[in-house]
A and B are shown apart, each in its own frame.
Chain A
Amino acid sequence: NAGVTQTPKFRILKIGQSMTLQCAQDMNHNYMYWYRQDPGMGLKLIYYSVGAGITDKGEVPNGYNVSRSTTEDFPLRLELAAPSQTSVYFCASSLADNEQFFGPGTRLTVL
């Protein structure tokens, strides 16, 4: 199993550009999550999904959108990128509310 994979690993965006961060898992986990981690800070939940077709907001959803059309994939969309969205983004998955497994992260810089 590859576990949780994320692409790209790094990205630099200009203010106002859009992009999609990809996340996939091959563990047949029903729950998936997107977090952001700013330097010296804890992870903050952006969006989560408890199954295909179901998504819900976390603590910091503004400026982001998600979709969950399949069990495996949970892409995160940034529209109109802003410098405040410079961060490391982690995707995670779990079987129900059990241990969460994280992907390697995407390091995003918005200039």
Chain B
Amino acid sequence: RKEVEQDPGPFNVPEGATVAFNCTYSNSASQSFFWYRQDCRKEPKLLMSVYSSGNEDGRFTAQLNRASQYISLLIRDSKLSDSATYLCVVRRGKLIFGQGTELSVKP
């Protein structure tokens, strides 16, 4: 079993839609949690950290449930520019990356 698992997608949604990505991690010793964004054939970039209390950054909301070992990312009012692969990342000493969920936002 992979240590960090995500829906592989792809998610194809129209502009303006709300889309949610799920991620589970298997090691309860994981210390901190992140969502990274990776555009096609480019390097990953930090989108947001994920806190137990939940956190929001504009149209993006991240949630963490330590008891269920579950992380989510909600994107509201999707834009064409949101099309990318979203990587769920946990820190257990070093960063451990999920395989990513591909999002395609269509006009």
Interface bracket on B: 10 to 19
How would you classify the secondary structure of chain B's contact residues: helix, strand, loop or mixed?
A: strand
The answer to whether B43 and A97 have CB atoms under 8 Å apart is: no
Task: Please indicate the chain A residues that have their CB under 8 angstroms from the CB of B99 in the complex.
Answer: 40-42
Which residue of B is nearest A58, CB measured? B94
- A-B contact number at CB 8 A: 39
The answer to whether B91 and A90 have CB atoms under 8 Å apart is: no
CB-contacts of A86-109 with B (<8 A): 88, 90, 97, 99-100, 102-105
The answer to whether B100 and A104 have CB atoms under 8 Å apart is: no
Chain A residues near B (Cβ < 8 Å): 33, 35, 40-45, 48, 58, 88, 90, 97, 99-100, 102-105
Chain B residues near A (Cβ < 8 Å): 2, 4, 8, 41-46, 87, 91, 94-100
